[in-house]
Structure 1
Amino acid sequence: MKTVERYAVLVVWALVVAFFAWRSDTFAATSTVQLILSTQTVILIATLGVTFSLAVQEFDLSVGSVVGFGGCLLAVLDGREGWAPGPAIAVTLLVCALFGAINAALSVLAGVPSIIVTLGTGTLLAGITLGVTESKVVTGISVKTVQFMTSPFLFGIPAPFYCGLVLCLVAWFVLQHTPLGRRMIFIAENREVARLAGLRVNLIRAGALVVTATLSGLAGVVLAGTNSAANPQSGAYYLLPAFAAAFLGSTTIVPGRFNAWGAFVAVYFLTTGITGLQYLGYAGWPEQVFYGGSLVAAVTLSHLAGHRRLPRFA
């Protein structure tokens, strides 16, 4: 039974692929695989970021805003100001990490529930992004950055996808094979008991929020580089997909825990279904249906199975 539960999403994924390959010859082409793998790195990285904060029962609703801000800041530094790509990316990630530290300070030190803090700070950051960009799309990102993000690296797939795989590997190792990962599980189950056991609960919670913001900023960097421009309003799109994939991922591979490979499977399972429907001529509604439905279904199944409590928001 446990084996079935662990790999159920993988089995359904295989059935979905088989169905769409049967209905559409175009879907079965190699180019479709390359398209699916190449275009979802932003969501994958954002989902991994969300996974870290959810692993300690923190809910960061500023993820979409940070993705948008990270992309716009890179575009401003790399494109408008003429910075070299390396320093521009480093400063972007540092600023996003500092934003995560602000979320952590308000939530962990001040004691305000993270879902409230990040809802407010995310809205604030979205406004700052519009102000910095004057509500305009920022262009002019350097050719080197764009080429790295978009040029085929291996098997016709750009380098960011493989960077996402490396991040999955790192997240998998940290969450499942280190003392820190076990402590995060302990904190998610019962913070007070973990504190009495001597764990540095506040520090770990704060660190998770900083990691979430940093990875969200990295997702924004990839988004801007891939599009060779940054839209200040694009970040909002990534909030629901990231949470939907993270929760769906918690029902597979390691059921009941937010885990890296489960997140990976969930991201590309959802994308496969959306892409398949688009190939069959359905456009516009599949994304909302898949992401919204999967979020509700994943949280419901997880709750009914008793693997994870619903958020307490207190």
Structure 2
Amino acid sequence: MKAQLRITEFFERYGLVALLVAVIVFFSVNSATPQFDTVANLRNILTDQSILGILAIATVIPLVAGQIDLSVGPNAGLTSVLCAGLMSKSGWPLFPAILAAIVVGLVIGTINAILVASVGINSIIATLGMSSVIGAAVLAYSGGVSITTGVSPGLLRLGPGKWLSVPTLFYFLLGIALVAWYLLEKTPTGKNLYAIGSNPRAALLVGIGVSRQTFGSLVLAGGIAGGAGVLLVAAVGAGSPQLGSNYTLPAIAAAFLGATSIQPGRYNVWGTITAVFFLAISVNGLTLWGAAPWVSELFDGAALIVGVGLGVYAGALRRRRPGRRGTASPDEMAAAATTAPHDAPPVLDAPPVLDAPPVLDAPPVLDGADDTDGSDRRPTNVTQDAGANRAGP
């Protein structure tokens, strides 16, 4: 029984990894896809999916806190056009243009954070509206035309560059993934974000600054998306106004599907990266096999539905099996409580309410009493006196 349980848990954690390996093996030995296992094809996959992987990580960070950012793709599209445009149209040097693009990404994230964490607008509504605003800004700045000239050669060399035969952009993905993993899994901030995503009210009661942490997660997502926009220029060799929005659905699908792997039931970095390459390699192999172009959208949509469905199913299993890790475990809630900045004061139990003293019966009025001074001889209302002299709790 224990062995069966361990096998079940293994496939819950690494089932998507096993599927990824199976897909790679299948298309590698398939005679109908001889181009699949070529070095050029594998490098193209690593290069193309590095940008998507970075944007998927940007999506995961707010998701951990219970929010969703639909603007990471348009954000990257705007910052890519801006970075290329500042060099091409305004003659900016490379590094100031990169810095300006990342700052714009942070500004977009800050606006999202204000709308969601400060104003209280639903994150789907706020970031969906921001996506439309960003799209308008991209068209206004670029005129709907890709910026292909005047881009720094140093940035253009980064895209096709390799180190140890591995594309340079893949190392950026690994670096950002490692930093994000450490932030979410090894720091008090990450524990706080998981606690907020699990139960924001409980997180607030243990002293976690829910609004502040949510604010920070959205700002960070915007900054990462801005950096991805710069790398997008390096990958395609231009600032293209059409590319950014194409990343939104694949990034969200990878984040949700990744929550079923490595750490099931939790949005996590390595599960998300696994999902990115599982979807990309599957689509690539099917395309080389002669599948229609719409297979990519089919996979992204199906992955989103399957990811959400498996998340619901896994949550039901954890409720039936106490002690399994969910979005935030009891240990994480306790750790968050000990490391929280205690923005909110502790909630004290209300003092007990004392029973009211008994109400005494009024003495009877004697018949025929001589009211010689004409004053009212009715007895004093003892109930009122008792109420007036009663000590508060």
TM-score interval for Structure 1 and Structure 2 normalised by the shorter chain: over 0.9
More helix by share: 1
SS at 1:150's partner residue? Answer: coil
Contact in 2 for aligned 1:72/1:232 (Cα 8 Å)? yes
SS at 2:159's partner residue? Answer: helix
When Rg is computed on C-alpha atoms for both structures, the one with the higher figure is 2
Q: Report the Cα offset of residue 33 of structure 1.
A: 2.0
For the residues of structure 1 that align with 2:254 and 2:177, how far apart are their CA atoms? 14
For the residues of structure 2 that align with 1:98 and 1:44, how far apart are their CA atoms? 22
Q: Report the Cα offset of residue 270 of structure 1.
A: 0.6
The alignment yields a C-alpha RMSD, in angstroms, of: 1.3
Q: Using a 3 Å threshold, how does the CA distance of structure 1 residues 123 and 171 change in structure 2: closer, same or farther?
A: same
Alignment partner of 2:60 out of 45, 51, 60 = 51
Q: Report the Cα offset of residue 153 of structure 1.
A: 2.5
1:114 partnered with 2:123: yes
CA offsets 1:28-62 (integer angstroms, 9 cap, x no match): 22332222112211101100000001010111111
Contact in 1 for aligned 2:264/2:314 (Cα 8 Å)? no
Contact in 2 for aligned 1:41/1:219 (Cα 8 Å)? no
Contact in 2 for aligned 1:250/1:257 (Cα 8 Å)? yes
CA offsets 1:229-281 (integer angstroms, 9 cap, x no match): 11212211000000011111111011111111111111111111011011111
Contact in 2 for aligned 1:66/1:216 (Cα 8 Å)? yes
Superposed, 1:1-314 pairs within 5 Å as 1-23=8-30, 24-140=33-149, 141-155=151-165, 157-306=166-315
For the residues of structure 1 that align with 2:222 and 2:107, how far apart are their CA atoms? 8
For the residues of structure 1 that align with 2:137 and 2:62, how far apart are their CA atoms? 24
TM-score, with structure 1 as normaliser: 0.95
For the residues of structure 2 that align with 1:105 and 1:259, how far apart are their CA atoms? 25
For the residues of structure 2 that align with 1:231 and 1:149, how far apart are their CA atoms? 15
Q: Report the Cα offset of residue 79 of structure 1.
A: 2.0
Show structure 2 runs of 5+ residues with no match.
1-7, 319-325, 328-393
The percentage of counterpart residues that share the same residue type is: 35
For the residues of structure 1 that align with 2:168 and 2:91, how far apart are their CA atoms? 23
Contact in 2 for aligned 1:27/1:276 (Cα 8 Å)? yes
Contact in 1 for aligned 2:79/2:105 (Cα 8 Å)? yes
SS at 2:163's partner residue? Answer: strand
Instruction: Name the stretch that deviates more: 27-36 or 261-270.
Output: 27-36
SS at 1:278's partner residue? Answer: helix
Q: Using a 3 Å threshold, how does the CA distance of structure 1 residues 29 and 150 change in structure 2: closer, same or farther?
A: closer
SS at 2:112's partner residue? Answer: helix
Q: Which amino acid aligns with 1:14?
A: V
For the residues of structure 2 that align with 1:232 and 1:186, how far apart are their CA atoms? 38
CA offsets 1:255-314 (integer angstroms, 9 cap, x no match): 1111111111111111110110111111312211111111100100111111679xxxxx
Q: Which amino acid aligns with 2:27?
A: F
For the residues of structure 2 that align with 1:138 and 1:64, how far apart are their CA atoms? 18
Q: Following TM superposition, where does structure 1 have runs of at least 4 consecutive aligned residues deviating by more than 6 angstroms?
A: none
CA offsets 1:82-139 (integer angstroms, 9 cap, x no match): 2111111111101110111111111111111111111111101110110011221112
For the residues of structure 2 that align with 1:174 and 1:122, how far apart are their CA atoms? 27
For the residues of structure 1 that align with 2:159 and 2:24, how far apart are their CA atoms? 27
For the residues of structure 1 that align with 2:154 and 2:226, how far apart are their CA atoms? 19
